[in-house]
Structure 1
Amino acid sequence: MDLPNCTLGALASNSCVSYDSLDTAGTPPKKIMLTLTLSVLAVVTTVINCLVITTVIVTRKLHHPANYLICSLASTDLLVAVLVMPFSIIYIQKEIWVMGQIVCTIYLSVDITCCTCSILHLAAIAIDRYRAITDAVEYARKRTGARAAVMVAVVWGLSILISLPPLLWRHYSGDAEQDDQCIITYDHIAFTLYSTLGAFYIPLLLILILYYKIYRAAQTLYMRREASRASRYSCMTNGSTMPSSYPAGDGSPLPQSPVVPQDKSFSDPSTEDRERDRTRVAARACRRKSRRSESCRSESYRSESRRGTFGQGPRISGTRERKAASTLGMILGAFVICWLPFFVKEVIVNTCASCSISMELADFLTWLGYLNSLINPLIYTIFNEDFKKAFQRLVRCNHY
């Protein structure tokens, strides 16, 4: 991404190292290897994002608003791979801008807007996932294709608003001293703060907060499911341990009378009444004992579940929590590792007049940010079984 900075093929401040100061007689083999490596990254990024987009389009099972956001993210990353990376490779290889200022303006516009849009897409996906897990029933009704389209439109609108001021400043600054460079020169710290806060730091804070809440909500959901599972198991266990003799329409066991007359015609009426009374008393006592036994068994099961010593439920819950944590960790880790160094450099270089970095390091940090456009489609689809099966069918040309 190329915000106002001193990155090769990027917007630059006055504190940046000029390409004129570089030795253009660099070692050809190293430059060839660098060009080939960056070209391979651009091609792989293009292919992976095209694969994600095609998979969502041709697979009916993936026609879901959440996947529409992922498809839009892949489209944005595809634009970075097709319209930004090749120009940056040429700029690095030539060390000067040879394609004219009109192409330079288009290149910078696409670079800033698409990279900002890619980052904001990650924030939009985080918002969508947070709503889906914390307000599942209500949000399921609102989670439509139209709503996803509105979110995509808002993301693109914000991206244009964030990238527009630096571009307008470049257009009206009238600086004709650097015709062989494709940069923006300015002395206003406000542009740096506006661009970096809007394009990275605010979305980063939002993503961190939302994914933390998503993880906590998922943890709570797993605990509730385990409690529900424990309750169902308790009912099943109690039902299986009850005596098998039940009167019709009653859930309590049928008491066994200590004296059962062999023939009622020979029984004394008073003795029969006493037997009936004893039967009622025994039935009530048996019901109370059964309820106490059920309570004890239920409490024992809950205690064992909490200790994780009974059944597979707690272990399954732990596995799911670890998988969710690892997935969120990969998403956040890739995003932070790819973009944080670049934006830290942006703030330092453009707010400190005496600070500068080498062009090699600036190029590396820029392409580290571009690398996120390759990682995004992999992370957001590799843990989805539907996506993996759809990928396999697509590769085998076996879609129906």
Structure 2
Amino acid sequence: MDKSYRQNFTVQYCFPGNNASCRKQVRSDPAYIFLLIFLSCISVCTVILNLLVIISISHFKQLHTPTNLLILSLAAADLLVGMFVMPVQITQLKDSCWYYGEMACSIFEISTGYSTAASLCSLVLIAVDRYIAVSDPLHYPTRITVSKMTLFIILGWSFSVMYITIFFYFNHDLLKSQTVTSCYGECAAIVKDSWVIIDLVVCFVAPCSLILILYLRVFNAARRQAKSVRSVTNAFSQRHKPARSPETKAAKTLGLVIFGYLACYIPFYVSSLTVESVTTLSVVLNVFSWLIYINSSVNPLIYAIFYPWFRTSVKIIVTCRIFQSSSSRLKLLSESF
């Protein structure tokens, strides 16, 4: 038993020449190797899928709508997670060591917080946008324009930068790897108890409450619209089937994005209140953090399943038709949602 354990779990040092070095845990278990391969595939898929969303919305003029700009913003935040956050986390899972120095540790923790905060801001704006589109569809084109939405997105990302900067400013003494632990070669952010509560309210309770309230109103408004359309259609002809409005379809599809987000974030914030030591090296928080990261690869899958324009644009990109001079003017849909 002990011999098998030593073969699958050997202890070395992150920096053998440094007496203060942390111990490196090299795991050779086949199940663990499979986990690393699986997470690496998720990271690659997250980058590819979100790049396809970004290229599609950026290139095709028909997709330059306020709602699609929000999807573009969300995809950009998810791309940061897949391109930078996931690979670094995978390297840490590999042997538990941080080789990149104290400054890189700070940058990594700040970047992780920034990308998740920007994703949250995009989801809040999506909920507000869908509420206005469904509750007041006649005035929506004049109230919400591409230029206004661009401004709101910039403000949302700016707020994310401001909040994360303030958050780590008040926790900066706890972010340094040398002072957090007694060994060299570890990157851990310990959050003060007061800021655990503040972060819970600012990044979870308040925005998620707003999102849920707005979407309840969105679905109620969509249901009323469907009943109105059905009654008018039935009065006109029994042979006509009521068609769902683009706003209603978009609300339902983006609702899946919202509730997928909630399902991935609720375990993390609940665990942050229950674990004794809130650090980025906590096993519990590590597991639930990966649940948050995986959410970044789920969103483009939802687009692929429910949005015909995304499937059409991907075919054009994969077949290299996007390089044709007039490809940006191609009609992906007869009716843009």
Q: Which TM-score bucket, shorter chain as reference? A: 0.7 to 0.9
Count of residue correspondences = 297
Determine if contact 2:189/2:280 at 8 Å carries over to the other structure: no
Deviations 1:246-281 (A, max 9, x none): xxxxxxxxxxxxxxxxxxxxxxxxxxxxxxxxxxxx
2:179 counterpart SS class:
coil
Supply the distance in 1 between the matched residues of 2:280 and 2:131 (Cα, whole angstroms). Answer: 39
1:172-321 correspondence to structure 2 within 5 Å:
172=173, 176-178=179-181, 179-186=184-191, 188-233=192-237, 311=239, 313=241
Supply the distance in 1 between the matched residues of 2:179 and 2:230 (Cα, whole angstroms). Answer: 68
Supply the distance in 2 between the matched residues of 1:30 and 1:102 (Cα, whole angstroms). Answer: 33
Q: How big is the shift at 1:202?
A: 1.8
Q: How big is the shift at 1:90?
A: 1.1
Deviations 1:278-335 (A, max 9, x none): xxxxxxxxxxxxxxxxxxxxxxxxxxxxxxxx54547x67xx98x7896466334421
Aligned residue in 2 for 1:257 = none
Determine if contact 2:180/2:190 at 8 Å carries over to the other structure: no
The Cα RMSD (Å) is: 2.9
**1:59–1:34 CA distance, 2 compared to 1 (3 A):** same
Supply the distance in 1 between the matched residues of 2:97 and 2:314 (Cα, whole angstroms). Answer: 41
Aligned residue in 1 for 2:103 = 102
Supply the distance in 1 between the matched residues of 2:256 and 2:145 (Cα, whole angstroms). Answer: 27
1:123-134 correspondence to structure 2 within 5 Å:
123-134=124-135
1:66-77 correspondence to structure 2 within 5 Å:
66-77=67-78
Percent identity between the aligned chains?
28
Please tell me the residue identity of whatever aligns with 1:189.
D
1:1-400 correspondence to structure 2 within 5 Å:
24-172=25-173, 176-178=179-181, 179-186=184-191, 188-233=192-237, 311=239, 313=241, 327=253, 330-349=256-275, 352=276, 359-380=282-303, 382-399=305-322, 400=327
Decide which moves more: 366-375 or 203-212: 203-212
Q: How big is the shift at 1:220?
A: 0.8
Determine if contact 2:122/2:156 at 8 Å carries over to the other structure: yes
Deviations 1:326-350 (A, max 9, x none): 646633442122111111111222x
**1:232–1:311 CA distance, 2 compared to 1 (3 A):** closer
Q: Give me the TM-score of the superposition, normalised by structure 2.
A: 0.79
- Highest CA radius of gyration, 1 or 2? 1
- 5+ unaligned residues in a row in structure 2: which ranges? 1-20, 328-337
Determine if contact 1:215/1:324 at 8 Å carries over to the other structure: no
Determine if contact 1:162/1:198 at 8 Å carries over to the other structure: no
**1:325–1:375 CA distance, 2 compared to 1 (3 A):** same
Supply the distance in 2 between the matched residues of 1:324 and 1:70 (Cα, whole angstroms). Answer: 11
Deviations 1:85-111 (A, max 9, x none): 111111111212221011001101100
Larger relative contact order (Cα-Cα within 8 Å, sequence gap ≥ 6) = 1
Determine if contact 2:190/2:279 at 8 Å carries over to the other structure: no
1:136 counterpart SS class:
coil
1:137 counterpart SS class:
coil
Please tell me the residue identity of whatever aligns with 2:268.
F
